[in-house]
Amino acid sequence: VKWIKVGSYEEMSKIASSIFVKQLQNKSNSVLGFATGGSPVGFYKEIVKSYQEGKISFEEVTSFNLDEYVGIPSSSPASYATYMIENLFQHVDVPKESYHLPNGNAINLEEECLRYDKSIEAAGGIDLQLLGIGVNGHIAFNEPGIPFTSLTNIVDLAESTRIENARYFENLEDVPTQAITMGIQSIMNAKKIVLIAFGDKKVAAIERLYRGTITEDFPASQLLKHSNLTVIYGSEG
Ligand code: F6R
């Protein structure tokens, strides 16, 4: 594991984006795995800047997002599809058919889960995956207790996660109770993984990861078994 300690959110965002820029410069048709939430907002700003400066193109890129809520329209302001369009896709030259998010409104959600893992596989697998981490150690929406063998699946959100994400909704009752998420094994299948975490709120989770005990009670811990993991972290304090 490569641990990179940073002194600011901006520094974290820049280092993470430079890894993705290098990836695209080496392989313009890379398959990228994207995350949403607060952590990668600065990362996407840097990526868009690199695109505007002509350093990278998304013309040949295929991307897969980690997760999406179940039961809110994909056009909702709080959906991860909207987040991705606003933070990245509308600013770069990615063809509409080249980016993918799980469909939280599929009529048959079980089938959608299988389809999603198959389409990642059909694209050749994810070359480089971006991840954030929840305060409880969740990655994507894999909450504590989920088997490490999980593939894309439908999950109940932990109450702590719903409260954490309520900031994107009008009130807590509007936060969906379920999501569709790539599983721990689907994430582990990526060739390279970059995990970003910044702020006092994330310190305990990063320390627990660093201590190194691998347990399903702390989903991120399985990442320690990955052969190419970079953790970029820091806090104000
Ligand atoms: C987002 C995702 C989540 C977040 C995590 C941290 O696609 O899968 O696991 O990465 O909840 O969220 P933030 O960055 O908002 O603290």
- How much is the CA Rg of the chain, to the nearest whole Å? 16
Pocket probe mutation, ligand 1, options 133, 152, 165, max atoms within 8 Å of Cβ: 133
pLDDT at 237: 76
User: Which residues, at least 6 apart from 85, have a Cβ–Cβ distance to it below 8 Å?
Assistant: none
Is 87 labeled as catalytic in the residue annotation? no
DSSP for the chain, please give it. -EEEE-SSHHHHHHHHHHHHHHHHHH-TT-EEEE--SSTTHHHHHHHHHHHHTTS---TT-EEEESEEESSS-TTSTTSHHHHHHHHTGGGS---GGGEE---TT-SSHHHHHHHHHHHHHHTT--SEEEE---TTS-BTTB-TT--TT--SEEEEPPHHHHHHHGGGSSSGGGS-SEEEE--HHHHHTSSEEEEEEESGGGHHHHHHHHHT---TTSGGGGGGG-SSEEEEEE---
Is 217 labeled as catalytic in the residue annotation? no
Q: Is the CB of 137 under 6 A from ligand 1?
A: no
Give the pLDDT means over successive 10-residue stretches in the chain (237 positions): 98 98 98 98 98 98 98 96 98 98 97 98 98 96 97 95 94 96 98 98 98 98 98 94
Q: What is the dihedral of CA 76, 79, 81, 87, to 10 degrees?
A: 100
Q: Report the nearest-CA residue for atom 8 of ligand 1.
A: 140
Q: Locate the domains of the chain by residue range.
A: 2-234
Is 100 labeled as catalytic in the residue annotation? no
User: Which residues, at least 6 apart from 127, have a Cβ–Cβ distance to it below 8 Å?
Assistant: 23, 27, 30, 31, 32, 190, 191, 192
Give me 181's structure tokens: 């998420």
Is 108 labeled as catalytic in the residue annotation? no
Question: What's the angle, vertex CA 14, arms to CA 222 and CA 211, rounded to 5?
Answer: 30
Beta 67-69 vs 128-131: how paired, if at all?
unpaired
pLDDT at 170: 94
Beta 178-181 vs 153-156: how paired, if at all?
antiparallel
Give me the interface pTM, i.e. the ipTM. 0.98
CA of 57 to the centre of ligand 1 (A): 25
| pTM to 2 decimal places | 0.97
| Atom of ligand 1 minimally distant from the CA of 140 | 8
Q: Report the nearest-CA residue for atom 10 of ligand 1.
A: 132
One-letter amino acid identity for 158? A
CA of 225 to the centre of ligand 1 (A): 21
pLDDT, tens digit, 9 for 90 and up, residues 134-189: 999 999 999 999 999 999 999 999 999 999 999 999 999 999 999 999 999 999 99
pLDDT at 75: 95
In this structure, CATH architecture of domain 2-234: 3-Layer(aba) Sandwich (3.40)
> Quick one: angle between helices 41-52 and 9-26, nearest 10?
50
